[in-house]
Structure 1
Amino acid sequence: MTDSTSSPRVDGGTAPAAAAPSGQSGHVLRSSPLRRLLKSPTGLIALVILAGVVLMALLAPLLTSQDPNHADLTAVLLPPGGDHLLGTDSAGRDIWARLVFGSRLTLAAAAVAAVVAIAIGLPSGLVAGYYGGIFDGVANWSTNVLMSLPAIIVLLAVRAAVGPSVWISMVIFGVLLSPGYYRLTRTAVQSVRNELYVDAARVSGLSDGRIISRHVLSVVRAPIIIQTAIVAGLSITVASSLDFLGLGDPTVPTWGVMVSDGFKNIYRQPISLLWSSLAITLVIGGFVLLGNALRDSLEDLEKTKEKRAKPAGGRRARPVAVEVGTEHHLLKVTDLQVAYPQPRGGRKVVVDGVSFHVDRDEVVGIVGESGSGKSQTAFSILGLLPDNAILTRGAIQFDGAYTVAPGEDHVTQSRLAPLRGKRIGYIPQEPMSNLDPAFTIGAQLSRPMVTVMGLSKKAAKQRALQLLASVGIPDPNRTYHAYPHEVSGGMAQRVLIAGAISCEPDLIIADEPTTALDVTVQAEVLDVMRELQQRLKIGIIIVTHNFGVVADMCDRVLVMQDGSLVETGAVRQILHAPQHPYTRMLLSSMLEGKTPMTHLLADSTAGSDR
Structure 2
Amino acid sequence: MTTTKTRPALARRLLRRPSAVIAVAWLVTLTAASLGAPLIAAHGPLDQDLTQVLALPSAAHPLGTDSLGRDLLSRLLYGGQPALLAVAEALAVHLVVGAGLGLVAGYLGGWVDHLTTRIGDLLFALPAIVIVLVVLSVFPGNLHAAMVTFGVLGSPSMIRVLRSRTLGIRQEMYVAAARVSGLSDAQILRRHVLPRLTSTVIVQAALFSGVAVIIQAGLGFLGLGAQPPAPSWGGLVADASQVIDRDPWMLVPAGVPLVLTVIALMALGDAIRDTAVENWSVSKLAASGPVAPPPVAEEMAEETAGTSRAPDPDALLSVRDLTVEIGGVPVVQGVSFDVMPGETLGVVGESGCGKSVTALGVLGLVPGGGRVVRGRVVFDGVDLVGSPEGLARVRGSGIAYVSQDPMVGLDPTFTVMAQLAEAVRRHLGTTREQARERVLELLAMVGVPDPPSVARRHPHQLSGGLAQRVLIALALAGRPRLLIADEPTTALDVSVQKEILTLLHTLQRRTGIAVLIVTHDWGVVATLCHRSLVMYAGQVVEQADVEPMFVRPLHPYTAGLLAANPHQAVSGHPLVTIPGAVPPPRDWPVGCRFAARCPHAADDCRAAPVALVQPEQARLTRCLHFEELVDEGVRR
TM range (shorter): 0.3 to 0.5
- Say which structure, 1 or 2, has more relative contact order (CA 8 Å, 6+ apart): 1
